[in-house]
Structure 1
Amino acid sequence: MADAYLQTLISRFPRLELSITRLYRNDPEFRAICEEMEEADAARARWCDLPERADEYEAIFDRLQDELLEHLTRKTRAEFLRPLQKGLKDNGRNS
């Protein structure tokens, strides 16, 4: 994936920049979703003269975007909860 498309995602979701960047760097599954989004976005642009075909890629892109946001939410929540869960494993003691 080109850095330019990563910047496109960040500009689409500016409040999620840190999470998007971190997951893109560290999570192969997230990176794969981003790459598929890039391909669908490019295909959508290529087929702009055939609206039915472009609409197909628009639907694919929308599903991938939903998947990206769900993955982002799940991973971000897990990172947030990890220290809390560790605290519970330590018998609730905060150290």
Structure 2
Amino acid sequence: MNSVPESMRAALSAALRRFPSLELTIRQLIATDQNFRDMCDELAEAEAALSRVDQLPLHICAIRKAEWGDLVERLAREILAALQEKQTIARSHIIPPSPR
């Protein structure tokens, strides 16, 4: 991750933690797609907020934990959909070898 600008590291790390097997696609999209990068930034921020929720007063802790947890899962689904779409598009551009 040393070649990744500091501003993108949290976003990249968040996506890679969720989808390590899709690292190449994640790196391509982080570098080229602002919408994807924004989703990953939001995921990193939501995960950070979720990790701090236990510091909140008890009467709102459970509510915030559920809210942040739901947001993390929704963002993860959106990121996965974008990754799958990118892979589908990439596969559709592969020209099969000619039969012999």
TM-score normalised according to structure 1 size: 0.76
Amino acid at match of 2:88: R
SS at match of 1:64: helix
**Alignment map for 1:9-88 (pairs within 5 Å):** 9-49=15-55, 50-84=61-95
Shift of 1:14: 1.8
Shift of 1:83: 3.9
Q: Aligned residues, how many?
A: 86
Coordinate RMSD, CA, aligned:
2.0
TM-score normalised according to structure 2 size: 0.73
Shift of 1:70: 0.3
Residue of structure 2 equivalent to 1:90 = none
Unpaired segments of 5 or more residues in structure 2?
A: 1-6, 56-60
Unpaired segments of 5 or more residues in structure 1?
A: 88-92
Does structure 1 residue 7 correspond to structure 2 residue 13?
yes
Larger RCO of the pair (alpha carbons < 8 Å, separation 6+): 2
Percent of aligned pairs with the same amino acid: 33
